[in-house]
Amino acid sequence: MTMVSNPAESAIMSDQPKQNQAWSNWAQNFTSNPALTFYPDSESRVADAVRVALRENLTLRTAGSSLSFSPLVTTQGVLLHLDNLTGITSIDEEKQRVRVLAGTTVKDLAAELWTRGWSLRNQGIIWEQAIAGALNTSTHGTGRGLRGFSSMLTWVRLVDGRGEIIEIGEDDPRLHAVQTGLGLMGVFLEVELEVVPRFFLEETFQFPHWDVAAKAWENEVATNRNHGLMWLKSDTSAQEYSLPSPDGESMANRTVYFQANEIDPIPENDWSDRIGARRGPAYRVLSAPIGEGAKLFYELEYAVPYEVILEATALVQRQSELHPEQNHPMFMRVIEADDSWMSPFYERESATISVAGMPGTDYWPFLRAVHETLMPFKARAHWGKLHLMTREDLQRAYPKFDEYVALRREQDPNGLFLNDYLRPLFA
Ligand SMILES: Cc1cc2nc3c(=O)[nH]c(=O)nc-3n(C[C@H](O)[C@H](O)[C@H](O)COP(=O)(O)OP(=O)(O)OC[C@H]3O[C@@H](n4cnc5c(N)ncnc54)[C@H](O)[C@@H]3O)c2cc1C
């Protein structure tokens, strides 16, 4: 590739971008060889990198922690890593808002918030995501009345597809499009999120049989702050996610409850990080590290209207039985409706159902069967996970799809942020 000589961009080029450095996501199901990989350490360097891509007619994608199972980050053009843009920049105590640089991980953000008296309202089961990655894919936890990450976003400073730094705040209708931006609306530099005064949680795990868990679902959702459950198809399903299980008992057709409830503050020597019995700061009970040596898997997750969850899961279980080599737990969670245009939870209280493909097997027939099972329930895909939705499916499922695409074209008139996966869906 030809090197750029424009002095306006010489600063970022003098950072010596990596050329043809291989990239892979965590699950290793997607790889690419970007022509140039940058690790900018300032806003202006990010804008420079965008202008380099424009000048060289290259596409550009931004990586968070590369945890998504879908090919959101793949590019043959320019890849940005914002690992050098981290840390809290300000906290507005009155408005209960934090401003943080986009490359900060959920873990570092939550830990720093805690020391300053604040918490995120909810989190997913892991915390290694970059905050911009979690926002751009509508990452979520579980719990009635609790929204996903995207809806926490109240302001963002970003570099658009022209290489301009712009701000989008609460009074700007574009905010709802940018909240679940998929990396298509610009490179996030700094974000503002709603936070809540810090609180303590205690976790309990239970392992009821599926029939009991299904009957109790409504009541457990109503009476626990956070309730999610995994259904285990076979005796060995729990091992795929290294889940605890009671000694010596068959786990086939049992479930694992993930429940957490608020407790009064406890001193630090009473905190526990033991999975299944965690107790302490909310952020340490809601999420855990992926862990060294975690087994790989290939996850698909769809959100359906909350009311149909039990009907839908019964059909997914039937598909799972028809694919005996697919042994991972099925995960059910609850998420409050939000107003982020491309969020799976847009204007709809939702329940999510996730399944996973087993490495070393032909898992696509199973994932396709689950897709076909869930589409009649008006399913919407999790953007960070595998899915089989076409552009026509998206148009039907997301009421704001056409407006989103129109705004994407305004934000990025040259299609700089499109890759081979996103172009057919959003060009
Ligand atoms: C083991 C495991 C457990 C998981 N658990 C959960 C869970 O409990 N709940 C859940 O909802 N999801 C979960 N996920 C999915 C995960 O939260 C999402 O895929 C999330 O997007 C990953 O964050 P990331 O920082 O790795 O983003 P990446 O995968 O790197 O990127 C995701 C998207 O964000 C964009 N992006 C990143 N940074 C920027 C930026 N600065 N500006 C603009 N766009 C940007 C990327 O371009 C891409 O489109 C899990 C994934 C794994 C592997």
Ligand 1 centre from 191 Cα, in Å?
16
The predicted-structure confidence for 111-157, as pLDDT tens digits, reads as follows: 999 999 999 999 999 999 999 999 999 999 999 999 999 999 999 99
Q: Is 23 helix (H, G, I), strand (E, B) or coil?
A: strand
If we measure between CA atoms, which residue out of 18, 22, 9 comes closest to residue 37? 18
The predicted-structure confidence for 275-287, as pLDDT tens digits, reads as follows: 999 999 999 999 9
The predicted-structure confidence for 44-86, as pLDDT tens digits, reads as follows: 999 999 999 999 999 999 999 999 999 999 999 999 999 999 9
Longest dimension (CA), the chain: 69
The predicted-structure confidence for 225-256, as pLDDT tens digits, reads as follows: 999 999 999 999 999 999 988 888 999 999 99
Q: Is the CB of 126 under 6 A from ligand 1?
A: yes
Burial class (CB in 10 A: 0-12, 13-18, 19+), 305: middle
Strand partners, 334: 351
Strand partners, 197: 118
The predicted-structure confidence for 406-418, as pLDDT tens digits, reads as follows: 999 999 999 999 9
Q: Is the pLDDT of residue 35 over 90?
A: yes
pLDDT at residue 247, rounded to an integer: 86
pLDDT at residue 8, rounded to an integer: 56
Ligand 1 centre from 385 Cα, in Å?
9
Cα separations in angstroms, 77 against 59, 294, 303: 5, 31, 32
Smallest CA separation from ligand 1 atom 11, residue = 139
Ligand 1 centre from 188 Cα, in Å?
14
Ligand 1 centre from 140 Cα, in Å?
10
Cα separations in angstroms, 320 against 236, 357, 367: 14, 11, 9
| Token output for 135 | 């926002």
Label residue 174 by pLDDT band (50, 70, 90): very high
- CA triplet 418, 419, 422: central angle to 5 degrees? 75
pLDDT at residue 9, rounded to an integer: 60
Ligand 1 centre from 406 Cα, in Å?
24
Q: Is the CB of 66 under 6 A from ligand 1?
A: yes
- Mean pLDDT score of the chain, rounded to an integer? 96
Thinking of the domain 88-198, which architecture would CATH place it in? 2-Layer Sandwich (3.30)
Label residue 13 by pLDDT band (50, 70, 90): confident
CA 69 to ligand 1: nearest atom: 19
Ligand 1 centre from 92 Cα, in Å?
26
Domain 202-283+293-383, CATH class in plain words: alpha beta
Smallest CA separation from ligand 1 atom 3, residue = 126
If we measure between CA atoms, which residue out of 148, 147, 114 comes closest to residue 134? 148
Q: In sequence order, which ranges of 247-349 are alpha helices (DSSP H)?
A: 282-286, 309-322
Label residue 311 by pLDDT band (50, 70, 90): very high
Domain 7-81, CATH class in plain words: alpha beta
Cα separations in angstroms, 199 against 123, 221, 334, 336, 341: 13, 20, 21, 20, 30
Q: Is the CB of 228 under 6 A from ligand 1?
A: no
Contacts of 410 (CB under 8 A, 6+ apart): none
Q: Is the CB of 134 under 6 A from ligand 1?
A: yes
Q: Report whether 9 contacts 46 (CB < 8 A).
A: no
Q: Is the pLDDT of residue 179 over 70?
A: yes
Q: Can you give the residue ranges of every domain in the chain?
A: 7-81, 88-198, 202-283+293-383
DSSP for 106-147 reads HHHHHHHHHHTTEE-S---SB--SBHHHHHHTT-----TT--
